[in-house]
Amino acid sequence: DAKTTQPPSMDCAEGRAANLPCNHSTISGNEYVYWYRQIHSQGPQYIIHGLKNNETNEMASLIITEDRKSSTLILPHATLRDTAVYYCIARANNAGNMLTFGGGTRLMVKP
């Protein structure tokens, strides 16, 4: 898996959009960008993934730059329950079994 770099922490006001950046400058052409989050003491929760096109689902939007060297996860209307550690992973379909989460970004949504 390509190395990813994320800011260690971010704050966001409740109801505002949370924009979480991720750098993956060494990403390979066959590697997808995945986002997971982990709320304290719970299993990692899948959020969204994409290859090169922007993606949107009921949880979030994923914006991938044209050169694919970075991406941004957008939570359009953050709630207190979105407080969690968010992990960005670059992973190919034929990747090994090691799912490596880096340090992630600890998002604190404040009232």
**Of the listed pieces 7-15, 36-44, 56-64, 74-82, which binds other proteins according to CB under 8 A?**
36-44
According to CB under 8 A, which one of 42, 58, 66, 67 is a site residue for other proteins? Answer: 42
Triad 28, 33, 34: Cα angle to 5°: 145
The rounded distance, in Å, linking the Cα atoms of 45 and 78 is 16
Nearer to other proteins, 81 or 111 (CB): 81
The residue among 75, 79, 84, 81 whose CA lies nearest residue 106 is 84
Residues 86-105 close enough to bind other proteins by CB under 8 A: 91, 93-95, 97-102
Least distance from other proteins to the Cβ atom of residue 111, Å: 26
CB proximity list for 31: less than 8 A, separation 6 or greater: 1, 2, 24, 90, 91, 92
According to CB under 8 A, which one of 10, 19, 23, 32 is a site residue for other proteins? Answer: 32
In contact, 77 and 30? CB cutoff 8 Å = no
The rounded distance, in Å, linking the Cα atoms of 23 and 26 is 9
- Binding letters toward other proteins, positions 50-89, x by CB under 8 A: -x--------------------------------------
Query: Given the rule CB under 8 A, which residues bind other proteins?
Result: 32, 34, 36, 41-46, 49, 51, 91, 93-95, 97-102
